[in-house]
Structure 1
Amino acid sequence: MILEVCLRSKQQVLRVIGRQLVRSSSSSAPLSRTELDDVPPTAHPLFSHAAIGSFFQEQPLLKNPFTQDALLRAYLRRHLPVQDVESDLRLFGERVADEIDDLGRQCEQNPPRLQQYEAWGQRVDRIITCPAWTLMKEISAQEGLVAAGYERRYGEWSRVYQMSKLYLYAPSAGLYSCPLAMTDGAAKVIESLGMPAREAFERLTSRDEKQFWTSGQWMTERRGGSDVANGTETVARRQEDGHFRLHGFKWFTSATDADFTLTLARIADSRGHTTPGSRGVSLFCAEVWGSDGRTNGIQIQRLKDKLGTRQMPTAELLLDGMQAQLLSAEGRGVASIANMLTLTRIHNTVSAVAAMRRIVQLSREYSNKRSVFGKLLKDHPLHVQTLTRLEVETRGAFLMLMEVCRLLGREETGGASERESHLLRLLTPVVKLYTGKQAVAVVSEGLECFGGQGYIEDTGLPGMLRDAQVLSIWEGTTNVLSLDVLRSVSKSGGRVLQAFFLDVEERLRSAGPALAPAVEALGSSLSALAKFIQKTATQNPEKLELAARDLAYSLARIYMGVLLVDHASWDEASDADVYAALRWCERDLCPVVSVDARGGYSAEATATDRALLYQGLEDTT
């Protein structure tokens, strides 16, 4: 019926237009009143006085991200029921919505630029950023976005409090969350090494915006990213005053406009020789700028042209005699940054989960405004189903993030048990690699919820997807971190896995009857995972490397499911909490077992994979 009416209206308009064309060839007389009446009312009034019509889509508004996040508020009410925490986060949420989000957009619209020379030819190497970027630094100090982790006002829960605040901040930060991650990591290293650079530590953790420093992290060189043990070529030459001069090329340096930096180099002996491998790498720190405003023996070669994270300066640097202080023991550089990697990977996870939460919040807000096919998006069951799937993904990721933050806080305050320390070691790479992938998928699906507007730069939405893409790359790619999971198992003699299985089993025992299907699915997956690991480790240990990625995914899915069940078992849990746990556990929780059952890790499968991937290459080489 609808199609018939549309076709009839179209035919009427075409008849009138046809008569007008005929008339115009012989006469300039206008259409008669009778002829105009043949045109349906909707055919001409819309554009009679305006070039673009009268309908506009309503923009989704960012509301206070704290009050809009039921799971965050419930989690804090359960674990950190301190009134001033809720009050601070509520006020900060208002600041994010009213002030910070606009500053973040300004950072996106006004990316940094490099000035290598001044007008008279003198080299200056200045990175020019927009005023909003400077304001982000001041806000970070005022709000204690780094300081909160070291003041330890809430004891073992201080990291949960700090990361909750960063979780609200990150999607609106214009990527200033990255310098803060580097700064937090630098402070962590200095603290763990016994404060060899106390003044720098005090500046990195200051709430005074005039004293506050940010830190860079200059590890990557031209030979590679994660393999710093073999890829570090920078040479450190000892000076008479005990300092060092660094000479080398840093291929990828984030937060290049920082006040301070950590970097790796090899100390040269009196004959200029260095020690190869990780035993020759030491950790140094340095101020980036001199008192005269010039760089400290640094030439900025160029800013990187990136897919996303355009708000933040990332550069190639030539260290040409940079004065630096030895921070670690000689030859202990790689070992000394382990604590930093734990923390920066957690920051990466914060950004991933925060991006997921933000796109869900905006999509939900939009569904209450956008009307299509005669009703609001929220009244279309398929649309609600799609958003619910994104919500479930976000909830699982959030709870695992918070658990890792809790474990970090326990360790930092000396309260972590051996099991908790093993869990922190295992779960940090797992949660980082899995949420990095989740963020890309969830943000991409979220953009689709806005239709074509999700692809338009002016809306600010495409930038969320570009920026999310880096989260699976920064601080170790998915494959690198999957192998790190195996390394944690090997170095601990399997104790990290034992801690995982014991923790999961204990949490499942407290689940109520409403969660029985989820508990059954998780228990079955856990049992299958244990059998796979035991059998593979004893009969074919080489296969574990090929299965490393699926093993990490299995650990993540099982643990996220367990945390959802645990949260849904809380006395004040809602029906939504129970439903989220049940929905999560409908998926394949243990893909490593599923792939193994299909023979996906066999030698034959590897040979077939290689033949498929490189088909035809032999003919062209």
Structure 2
Amino acid sequence: MLVEQGFQQVPFQEGNPYTQDPALPSLLRRLIPPRLFNEEIELELERFGAEVITTIRAQSRGDRISPPKLVQYDNWGRRIDELQTSEGWRSLKATAQREGIPGIFYERKYREHSRLFGFAKAFIMVGDSHEVFCPLSMTDGAARVVELLGTEGMKKDVLPRLISRNPSSAFVAGQWMTERPGGSDVSQTETKAQSLGDSDSLGSKYSLDGFKWFSSATDGDIALALARTGPADSGSRGLSLFLIPLREALNNRFGSSTISTNGVRVHRLKNKIGTHALPTAELSLEQTTAYLVGPLNEGVNNIIPVLNITRIWSAISSVGGLRKCLAIATAYANVRRIDGGKRLLRDVPLHVAQLASINLVYRALTHLVFGAVTLLGRVECGVASVEEQNRLRMFTPIVKGFAAEKAVTAMEEAMAALGGQGYMEETDIGRLIRDGLVERIWEGTTTVLSLDLLRSTTNPARLKEFVSWSYSIILMCPPGLLKAVQAAIQSLQGRLDSLLAAFLHPVPPLIARPSLMFIGYIASAIYLLEHAIWSHSRGEEGYEIDAEVFRRWVNDGSFVAAEQDLDRIRSEVKFADASNSAIVFGKRDHAKL
């Protein structure tokens, strides 16, 4: 039989990623004022959604996207460190810049809602972006640092190009923190900075020497880097933040002594399991000219805006990747026939139940992440209350860690929903899973984020503010809706009590990770309830579904297990450290349990 003969599977069609999304349009309709949403933003998102499945998807095809190459020497043996990226990678980056990412955030046409609009555009593109938003997220963070701490010269010459919509002149920024001795522990930073005793329009000039173990925007135009300006034994308190010009045009403008690379040498590209199109490299800095950003020896504090912004971006990437996997699985169910061609998968209750469980996770994560985005926009525009500022500080590590943990597992379920076809590279789900796995590591592992969460709740009042905010949403529930979700609300209230009990001082260190997951479940449930209240009160189409999603999420087995895990850690805290060590390393080294 010829391949053209016999049964032919009908290809699935995903549809517009904005208009066909089960959660995003309704969520934005609630969060953005009607005039802005109806007259401008929704129309733009509908247009851009069409661009994603046509122009942008064409740019991300496998024949246009390939791993970068590093040419270290020319044919005469001269060191050139030429980084060659694929046409598709460059096109995707240019498209995002033209679409206003990250420009929208700083033009602030829609004030505090600009973050919602810009991230919504990124959200529906991220599944086809091949991680191009990794360097653009760092560009976003760099723009915020320059806006807050940059010299007047940086604000005049650098900031406009970081947020430019013109790809031919726009800058991309890297973030160079990670070094060989410390990884996430920057206190062991070896890179040293020496003042040159000179300055120009960009500020005070320094010379940097050291080695950076990971650089995820190696094809960038500038970088923000930490370097040591204090004694080695001062740890992170002896670090300062610097802006490094990289490319030829910049170096000429800034008067660098090394025309092509400003003393930056690329030693090798990282061989990663995913994010293959993204150039990640090991770099050495050799008398690299850099400019001090912010106060001396306060580098860790000065780079915090970058970390906070890129962690939100990481969550967007996790959930945006899940969005595409869910869209593929749903579209496939609309065309795949079984039982001798008599039934579509969409008519098989057991299969639809599997898709509904993925959908539930997706909706919860989407509401959680855009809840944090709303807070970020309000804080940046100076309209956030003190409680909202504190909640953003607490939510930033939570949304990043919780989304990274939950999204990839749900992506795997979406892959299985296509059977053998899901395991094929052509569906793109495999790439999305590989790329999604990095979000559990970049910008802080779940353990690092959990410890950051503990720091954000050192003041007991912060956690009480979160609980008070949660109860303020619960108390808004109208009688008609309360009847349908009362049991779920009672369960949620009990879990809020459990959370407060778990953080009674002294807080055991081992509670950090389970508490991040537990608060992630609670916060996402509260956002789902808030949306169900809005939907019910307005009589929105599908308000019963919003109530059912909230009810199911609270009753989800993983949510119940998270509470049990928290309770177990609290009760076993005296013995957990020793027994964990014995399980991992053997009892002979830990005889006393």
TM-score, reference length from structure 2: 0.90
State how far apart, in whole Å, the 2-side matches of 1:617 and 1:97 are. Answer: 59
In structure 1, which of residues 220, 233, 246 is the aligned counterpart of residue 190 of structure 2? 233
Spell out, residue by residue over 1:520-561, the C-alpha distance to the aligned partner (whole angstroms, 9 max, x if none).
Answer: 111111122222323xx1xxx252x11111111111101111
Change (3 A) 1:592 1:142: closer
In structure 2, which of residues 525, 533, 556 is the aligned counterpart of residue 587 of structure 1? 556
**Where do residues 532-611 of structure 1 align in structure 2 (5 Å cutoff)?**
532-534=502-504, 537=505, 541=506, 543=508, 545-570=509-534, 571-573=538-540, 574-587=543-556, 589=559, 591=561, 593-595=563-565, 597-598=567-568, 601-611=572-582
Give the secondary structure class of the aligned counterpart of 1:337.
helix
In structure 1, which of residues 338, 360, 364 is the aligned counterpart of residue 304 of structure 2? 338
Aligned twin of 1:72: 24
Aligned twin of 1:212: 170
Give the secondary structure class of the aligned counterpart of 1:220.
coil
CA deviation after TM superposition for structure 1 residue 280, in Å: 0.8
In structure 2, which of residues 489, 494, 499 is the aligned counterpart of residue 524 of structure 1? 494
State the AA in 2 paired with 1:569.
I
State the AA in 1 paired with 2:399.
V
Which segments of 5 or more consecutive residues in structure 1 lack a partner in the other structure? 1-46
CA deviation after TM superposition for structure 1 residue 598, in Å: 4.0
State how far apart, in whole Å, the 1-side matches of 2:317 and 2:580 are. Answer: 34
CA deviation after TM superposition for structure 1 residue 384, in Å: 0.6
State the AA in 1 paired with 2:192.
V
State how far apart, in whole Å, the 2-side matches of 1:284 and 1:477 are. Answer: 25
**Where do residues 219-618 of structure 1 align in structure 2 (5 Å cutoff)?**
219-228=177-186, 230-242=187-199, 243-267=205-229, 276-291=234-249, 294-374=260-340, 375-490=343-458, 493-511=459-477, 512-513=481-482, 514-534=484-504, 537=505, 541=506, 543=508, 545-570=509-534, 571-573=538-540, 574-587=543-556, 589=559, 591=561, 593-595=563-565, 597-598=567-568, 601-615=572-586
**Where do residues 24-35 of structure 1 align in structure 2 (5 Å cutoff)?**
none
Change (3 A) 1:458 1:239: same
Given that 2:141 and 2:307 are in contact with CA atoms closer than 8 Å, whether structure 1 keeps it comes out as yes
State how far apart, in whole Å, the 2-side matches of 1:308 and 1:597 are. Answer: 36
Q: Which has the higher contact order (CA 8 A, sep 6+)?
A: 2
State how far apart, in whole Å, the 1-side matches of 2:501 and 2:263 are. Answer: 56
CA deviation after TM superposition for structure 1 residue 258, in Å: 0.6
Give the secondary structure class of the aligned counterpart of 2:61.
helix
Change (3 A) 1:275 1:187: farther
Identity level (%):
36
Aligned twin of 2:80: 124
CA deviation after TM superposition for structure 1 residue 161, in Å: 0.9
CA deviation after TM superposition for structure 1 residue 440, in Å: 1.2
Given that 2:64 and 2:88 are in contact with CA atoms closer than 8 Å, whether structure 1 keeps it comes out as no
Spell out, residue by residue over 1:381-437, the C-alpha distance to the aligned partner (whole angstroms, 9 max, x if none).
Answer: 111111101111111111111111111111111111111011000011011100001
Give the secondary structure class of the aligned counterpart of 2:105.
helix
State how far apart, in whole Å, the 1-side matches of 2:427 and 2:142 are. Answer: 35
Moved more, 473-482 or 447-456: 447-456
Aligned twin of 2:255: none
State whether structure 2 residue 149 is matched by structure 1 residue 193: yes
State how far apart, in whole Å, the 1-side matches of 2:316 and 2:357 are. Answer: 20
Structure with max Cα Rg = 1
Change (3 A) 1:409 1:109: closer
Spell out, residue by residue over 1:46-98, the C-alpha distance to the aligned partner (whole angstroms, 9 max, x if none).
Answer: x2xx2675224333333210111142111222222222101111111111110
Moved more, 520-529 or 461-470: 520-529
Give the secondary structure class of the aligned counterpart of 2:198.
coil
Moved more, 373-382 or 297-306: 373-382
Given that 2:463 and 2:500 are in contact with CA atoms closer than 8 Å, whether structure 1 keeps it comes out as no
Moved more, 474-483 or 374-383: 374-383
State how far apart, in whole Å, the 2-side matches of 1:174 and 1:320 are. Answer: 31
Change (3 A) 1:458 1:73: closer
State how far apart, in whole Å, the 2-side matches of 1:171 and 1:459 are. Answer: 12
Change (3 A) 1:604 1:52: farther
Corresponding pairs, count: 558
Which segments of 5 or more consecutive residues in structure 2 lack a partner in the other structure? 200-204, 253-258
**Where do residues 125-140 of structure 1 align in structure 2 (5 Å cutoff)?**
125-140=81-96
Given that 1:422 and 1:495 are in contact with CA atoms closer than 8 Å, whether structure 2 keeps it comes out as no
Give the secondary structure class of the aligned counterpart of 2:225.
strand
State how far apart, in whole Å, the 1-side matches of 2:587 and 2:77 are. Answer: 53
Once superposed, what is the RMSD of the aligned Cα atoms? 2.0
